[in-house]
Amino acid sequence: MTSPLRLGIAGLGTVGVGIVRIVQKHVALLEGRAGRPIVISAVSARSKTKNRDVDLSDYAWEDDPVELAKRDDVDLFIEVMGGHEGPAKDATEAAIAAGKDVVSANKALMAVHGQSLAEMAEAAGRVIRFEAAVAGGVPVVKALTEGLAGNEITRIMGVMNGSCNYILTRMQDAGLSYEAVFDEANQLGYLEADPELDVGGIDAGHKLALLSSIAFGTQVDFDAVELEGIGSVTIEDINHAADMGYKIKLLGVAQLTGRGLEQRMAPCLVPATSPLGQLEGGTNMVVLEGDAVGQIVLRGAGAGEGPTASAIMGDVMDIARGLRISTFGQPAAQLRKARAARAAVPAPYYLRMQLLDKPGALAKVAYALGEAGISIDRMRQYGHDDTMAPVLIVTHKTTRTALDEALAAFAGTGVVTGEPVAIRIEAV
What amino acid positions are annotated as catalytic residues? 207
- The CA–CA distances, whole Å, from 137 to 141, 142, 160, 172, 283 equal 11, 11, 12, 26, 10
Can you tell me the distance from the alpha carbon of 321 to that of 143, in angstroms, rounded to the nearest whole number? 18
Can you tell me the distance from the alpha carbon of 359 to that of 175, in angstroms, rounded to the nearest whole number? 33
- The CA–CA distances, whole Å, from 73 to 34, 67, 125, 239, 327 equal 19, 12, 19, 58, 24
Q: What is the DSSP letter of 299?
A: E
Number of C-beta neighbours around residue 332 at 10 A: 22
The answer to whether the CB of 423 falls within 8 A of the CB of 349 is: yes
- The CA–CA distances, whole Å, from 341 to 201, 235, 257, 262, 289 equal 19, 31, 8, 5, 19
Q: 123: burial class by Cβ within 10 Å (0-12, 13-18, 19+)?
A: exposed
Can you tell me the distance from the alpha carbon of 151 to that of 169, in angstroms, rounded to the nearest whole number? 33
The answer to whether the CB of 23 falls within 8 A of the CB of 31 is: no
What string of H, E and C letters represents the secondary structure of 191-248?
A: CCCCCHHHHCCHHHHHHHHHHHHHHHCECCCHHHCEECCCCCCCHHHHHHHHHCCEEE
HSE-CB at 109 with a 13 A cutoff on CA atoms is 26
Q: Is the dihedral of CA 139, 144, 149, 150 positive or negative?
A: positive
